[in-house]
Amino acid sequence: MILCANFKANKTRQETRAYMAVVESFVAVNEIEDTVIVFPPFTALEHTPRNVLIGVQNAYPVSNGAFTGEIALEQLEEFDIKTILIGHSERRHVLGETQEQIAEKFRFFSEQGFAIVYCVGEPLTIREQGNEALMCYIDDQFVGIDLSYPDLIVAYEPVWAIGTGLTPSNKEIEAVHTALRLKTTAPLLYGGSVKVDNAGEIMALSNVDGVLVGSASLSANDFCEMIAQAAELKQ
Ligand code: PGA
């Protein structure tokens, strides 16, 4: 399983340090073999060896240059960052990133050999139109994306489920993941209101290879509990 914690614009550097201490110790003591990835804000990046992976929530697709307010490859290399989240719904719908910009990020960071957690997902109006419309919408989010990239992880995150407490039914999650499985052999994560109460059952669904967790990952204890649930699934 792959478990990702997406902090978004939450947690200071100090809070992230305290959080990492809890999660790293949990992973070590319990000899966790699942992949754990934490995406803290840029200000909390540190040059410390970790037993969990650290990724970034975004970056600009250049080595360096005149891009005010952006972070580029050179700054990520300083922290040995080789993992990035691309196409998250908040970047698409709140920050206004276009598919063209997203595909450019994908191209640049895949050429740099980054592990890419690539997010797709439909708004509620599309979900209401049924499965065909939904998969068409997701197909458009794959334009310019190499689905055979070896370090690709795909995260299915319905926009209406993110941060709302709403989730699709297990059957609905399985239906989308089964359709995604026909398009790529990449691991498939589900994201959108995953919490301790539903993580185990979601990870047990067919074609679900892990979870991408926002709000509920902000508690180190809750995130560790989800890691424990993943470990239990293997037994
Ligand atoms: P959520 O966010 O768990 O708070 O719904 C998930 C995400 O945005 O990745």
pLDDT given for residue 48 in this prediction: 84
Return the half-sphere exposure (C-beta side, CA atoms, 13 A cut-off) of residue 147. 17
Contact (CB, 8 A) for 28 and 52: no
Ligand 1 atom closest to 8 (CA): 8
Query: Among 37, 86, 162, which residue has the most ligand 1 atoms within 8 Å of its CB, making it the best to mutate?
Result: 162
Q: Answer yes or no: pTM beyond 0.85.
A: yes
Domain boundaries, the chain: 2-232
Told to judge if 47 belongs to the known catalytic residues of this protein, a careful annotator would answer no
Centroid of ligand 1 to alpha carbon of 52 (angstroms): 20
Contact (CB, 8 A) for 177 and 191: no
Nearest residue to 226 (alpha-carbon basis) of 175, 177, 190: 190
Task: Report how far residue 82's alpha carbon sits from residue 54's, in angstroms, rounded to the nearest whole number.
Answer: 8
pLDDT digits (tens, 9 = 90+) for 33-77: 999 999 999 999 998 878 999 999 999 999 999 999 999 999 999
CA dihedral in degrees (204, 209, 214, 219; nearest 10)? 60
pLDDT digits (tens, 9 = 90+) for 69-123: 999 999 999 999 999 999 999 999 999 999 999 999 999 999 999 999 999 999 9
Question: In the CATH scheme, what architecture does the domain 2-232 have?
Answer: Alpha-Beta Barrel (3.20)
Told to judge if 88 belongs to the known catalytic residues of this protein, a careful annotator would answer yes
pLDDT digits (tens, 9 = 90+) for 110-163: 999 999 999 999 999 999 999 999 999 999 999 999 999 999 999 999 999 999
